[in-house]
Amino acid sequence: MKLPMLSADDKHAEIRRLYFKTTKQTIQEDLAKALDLLKSMNSEEERERAAVYMEGMAQMRAEWGRAQKKRQGSVGKGQGSGKRRDEKKR
């Protein structure tokens, strides 16, 4: 498969598109694609333009990851944890 050469504006637009279309299910893949595009940019100025979208995607990944861990951590917590809390309060 032959890939087209993208201009700096095209790369920026693609990162922006990935930012707005990403979901909990696609964040890892979308962030990886955006990072590849960011790495392929030639100048610091180009990368700075895309930084806000990269930071936003990283924040979404972190928030969605915390929410998922919280849900997973709450499953089965009722067993044994009540006694410890009571003992600490005494």
pLDDT tens sequence across 4-28: 788 999 999 999 999 999 999 999 9
Q: What is the mean pLDDT of residues 43-69?
A: 91
| Angle CA 13–14–17, to nearest 5 | 85
Identify residue 27 by its one-letter amino acid code.
Answer: I
Q: Residue 71 pLDDT more than 60?
A: yes
- Percent of the chain that is helix, strand, coil (3-state, to 5): 75, 0, 25
Average pLDDT across the chain, whole number: 83
pLDDT of 84 over the 60 cut: no
In the prediction, which pLDDT does 66 show?
A: 81
Single-letter amino acid code for the residue at 50: A
